[in-house]
Structure 1
Amino acid sequence: MSDRQEDRIRELEERIYCLEDIIQHVSEGVILTDQDCRITVFNPAKEKMEQMKAEDVLNKVSWEVYSHSNREISEHQQVLDTGVPILDAYRPHAYVGEAPVYIYYSTYPVMRDGKVLGVYSISRNESTLRELLYETLEHKRSLHVEDEEERAGRSLAKGTKFTFEDFVGCSPQIKQVIKDAQTIAGLDASILITGETGTGKEVLAQSIHNFGRGNKRFVAVNCAAIPDTLMESTMFGSVKGAFTGAVDSQGLLRAAEDGTLFLDEINSMSVAMQAKLLRALQERCVRPVGSMDEYPIQCRLICASNESAGTLLRDKLMRQDLFYRISDFILAIPPLRERKQDILELAEQLIRQYNREFHKNVTHMSEQLREYLLNSAWRGNIRELERVLRSLMLRVSEVEEELDVQADIGSLLGYEKAAAQGEASYLATTDLQETLRQIQMEIITHRLKENNGNISKTARDLGLQRQNLSQRIKRLELGDPL
């Protein structure tokens, strides 16, 4: 080998070393895959962003590392096949517990002589971007808040009755949810709200709409309340004669116009319908059932689920591609038991509301009632708190000023005080996931026994889709509950 060749090799080795050193120290996350979609580079910034170690992912195919249901969903595979970059994407690529970690990234092909040699992505952590977003939008948000009292006296958007003033809470968790919601309310981004039943998901959805698009239409639908056979025509519309009883209708996606469509309990939607909804959202147009014509849609989508984002993907309750399409931003409302400092503020607001509604004059709660409210588990969250206080308020006279514990408050809460105390210690176990698993097992097993093993009836009793219940039974390994 000549001296010139040796110098050239040394020069290339030094250049490679410099490039590798740069990749290891840049603040952006870098991942590189080869022609087989195997990961060859996974730098420290990427490790930190996605909570993964390079040693655990190197030489593995990317679509397996990210748990894609099939390789076609993998963006690196898509770019490898097409040679077309994916620019400015914003997706959750990792989870810390149940919380998604959002990453802003672009994916590019490595091209030479018209051939794709590999694919790489450059990413930035969502937390950094959120800080920048807050800096640019906080002033606009604060100005919007200043106008809130002035707008409160005006009529709300058709189909709504709530604003952020109705989304009560003084806990840091709720304050952050409200701040995030107000920040993104004016943006053209899809929002996924997660939270247990009764946490106020629709209140938050209406508040977001009235804060950002208050002069537009708000259309809401509970997906669990619509039979699968009618879901397509409900969403996309139909033409007369398309099926028995069909009439000309434009469907909810068009009815929302340039306002907001709120899809509650979207996780109850069948997989087949999820695929159709995904296409409509991607193409931004719908075709009514029985029609050959397509119509554009302009509405902003807000969806809600009583399952966490992590559960939706882990248990395959939602198509991964649809999840990414509807969750530009995720707002997770914590259950009432995790923000006990909000309980008394909520109770006081409800008392004022029921004073007006029932013509009462209650000014305060007894210490015994305050203690009882703080120590209860609130399995039904705010909805259960509303029911209990409503019942107590109905029992007091017009002249009583103190709201006190009633003898049968245990039955109002659905369990006796001793049972409530027992449940509180039960929930206090350090293994939260196992506790939740046991609770689900007990409830499902009890209902199945009552219904003699009839899954369809049990699903209806529990407010679940049959498919959803069957998946839970399998996941919990209940076997034959009878």
Structure 2
Amino acid sequence: MIDDVYYNLVTKIENFFDGIMIVDKDCVIRYNRLFINSDINLNEKNSIGKTPVDIWPNLTEETSTCFRAVKYGETTTNQVQTLLHASGREISAVDNTFPIVENGEIIGAISTTKFIDALTFRNNIDLSNLTITHANDLYMPHDIIGTSKEIELLKFKIHKVAQTNTSILIYGETGTGKELVAQSIHSSSSRKNHLFISQNCAAIPNTLLESIFFGTTKGSYTGAESKAGIFELANGGTIFLDEINSMDLNMQAKLLKAIEEKKITRIGGSAPKKIDVRIIAAINEHPQSCINENRIRKDLFYRLSGVQIEVPPLRERKGDIPYLTAHFIHHYNSEMKKNIEGVSPEVSAFLQAYDWPGNVRELKNSIEGAFNFASSNLIEKADFPRFYPLEGTSAISSGAEKADWFGFSSLNEGLEAFEKAFISKRGKQATSLANLAEDLKISRQTLNYKLNKYHLKLGTLGKF
């Protein structure tokens, strides 16, 4: 089905990108093609029937944009990725991935790639006339749902700071929508016709960040090619640096120098290049705790914190929950071809009482889950499988709404706790970082990402 329905789509847009990959609902590659000359062997013959994780061994299901698209319906826009090919070759690319939806069901995903080796980039691709239901346009302030005073203040701040070029620090809990705010600032600014590049600093080993930021010069090290970094690519636009507090302090110093001097020098190069880029950085905790724990340099913090924007957690703006619920119901009605009119009074009371530790993202996922079980025109309590342990008890008493059977507020939280404990325990017996990666059966790049994600220090994992 994928091959027939979307082949014309591929042939229409192949001239705008360096490569296109299409996967089915199981994330098995059904089409994969490069449109540029390359020594990377990625043709259909050797990739059909495999998954992106098979092709790029440093990816996992959670870091693969294709897997996230088919599992969660997630759209990825202008994300810079460093990919490790099975041949050992490292490749930096700008990725755009979209779920493919038919009759309300995700039947696959399409991923377009532009390699950073190629210096010509498009800002976006207009798929509005095609069958994909997820628009790739960047968010605007009106996409921020809510009428609470907290949201009105947030939109006011976005409008004001969009008129300037000052660097910005956004902080807020996981799931509050920090990238939505960053995109809204860019979309409302004079930079809106230039590139918006999002980079999660925790997703890339610190040893690679410098080349991703500033680019490389051919011959600067073994295998190095002339590549533009994201500062060059986003010239005139905006760079969003998420989880900046996970970045190595030495790399933070180099970032600060680039921001202050508005110049960058490629690795191995000697000629500095002027850059005009607005930096929007984000952290998922209070800035002061990052400073106190020496996870963000004070001088970088002072440079970025001239404008600080806090994205409020959902529990502090519960008046917005009915609006968000209605918005997500409308969204999933369209996507799943259903006609849900709202939620029952019992569910409405529960949604108001629950603390939502996963914030708007958790609410959205909960509504989506309930849609799969709803059998009437109202979402009932029974349509929320995760709340079954509360049967016979009040969902709003004794803090019960904050935890499920195992004491975690979500499956993700439980999985992350297990993963962190598992790595820590295995690390105590490992003799080296390479040995630990081998024992865990993951790549060193993936291990580095997880060490940064969970703030695990090598010294706590044994003698390395």
Q: Return the alpha-carbon distance in structure 1 between the equivalents of residues 398 and 184 of structure 2.
A: 33
Deviation at 1:424, TM superposition (A): 2.7
Match of 1:302 among 264, 273, 280: 280
* AA at the equivalent of 1:468: H
In structure 2, the partner of 1:424 is 399
In structure 1, the partner of 2:145 is 168
Q: Return the alpha-carbon distance in structure 2 between the equivalents of residues 228 and 450 of structure 1.
A: 19
Partner-residue secondary structure (3-state), 2:347: helix
Partner-residue secondary structure (3-state), 2:225: coil
Q: 1:202 to 1:446 in 2, by over 3 A?
A: closer
* AA at the equivalent of 2:380: D
Q: Which string of whole-angstrom CA distances, capped at 9 and with x for unpartnered residues, describes residues 342-396 of structure 1?
A: 2221111111111111111112211111112112221211111111111111333
Q: Return the alpha-carbon distance in structure 1 between the equivalents of residues 223 and 141 of structure 2.
A: 41
Q: 1:345 to 1:270 in 2, by over 3 A?
A: same
Deviation at 1:252, TM superposition (A): 0.7
| Greater relative CO (CA pairs within 8 A, separation 6+) | 2
Asked if 1:394 is matched to 2:381, the reply is: no
In percent, how many aligned pairs have the same letter? 35
* AA at the equivalent of 1:316: N
Partner-residue secondary structure (3-state), 1:279: helix
8 Å contact kept, 1:160–1:218: no
8 Å contact kept, 2:245–2:283: yes
- Aligned pairs for 1:77-476 (under 5 A) are 160-212=137-189, 213-396=191-374, 400-406=376-382, 408-410=384-386, 424=399, 447-448=420-421, 451-452=424-425, 454=427, 465=452, 468-470=455-457
8 Å contact kept, 1:159–1:219: no
Partner-residue secondary structure (3-state), 1:240: coil
Deviation at 1:411, TM superposition (A): 5.3
Q: Return the alpha-carbon distance in structure 1 between the equivalents of residues 419 and 231 of structure 2.
A: 39
Q: Return the alpha-carbon distance in structure 2 between the equivalents of residues 256 and 409 of structure 1.
A: 44
* AA at the equivalent of 2:345: E
8 Å contact kept, 1:392–1:403: yes
Larger Rg: 1
Partner-residue secondary structure (3-state), 1:188: coil
8 Å contact kept, 1:240–1:246: yes
- Choose between structure 1 and 2: higher helix proportion: 1
Q: 1:159 to 1:262 in 2, by over 3 A?
A: farther
Q: Return the alpha-carbon distance in structure 2 between the equivalents of residues 186 and 408 of structure 1.
A: 43
* AA at the equivalent of 2:308: I
Which segment is superposed worse, 240-249 or 202-211? 240-249
Partner-residue secondary structure (3-state), 1:452: helix
* AA at the equivalent of 1:333: V
TM-score (norm 2): 0.58
Deviation at 1:423, TM superposition (A): 7.1
* AA at the equivalent of 2:249: V
Deviation at 1:324, TM superposition (A): 1.1
Q: Which string of whole-angstrom CA distances, capped at 9 and with x for unpartnered residues, describes residues 110-143 of structure 1?
A: xxxxxxxxxxxxxxxxxxxxxxxxxxxxxxxxxx
8 Å contact kept, 1:236–1:254: yes
Aligned residues: 303
Q: Which string of whole-angstrom CA distances, capped at 9 and with x for unpartnered residues, describes residues 405-446 of structure 1?
A: 22553259xx7576975773798xxxxxxxxxxxx9xx9699
* AA at the equivalent of 1:375: A
Q: Which string of whole-angstrom CA distances, capped at 9 and with x for unpartnered residues, describes residues 265-316 of structure 1?
A: 1111111110111111111100111111110110111111112122122222
TM-score (norm 1): 0.56
Runs of 4 or more consecutive aligned structure 1 residues displaced over 6 Å after TM superposition: 417-420, 443-446, 455-462
8 Å contact kept, 1:261–1:299: yes
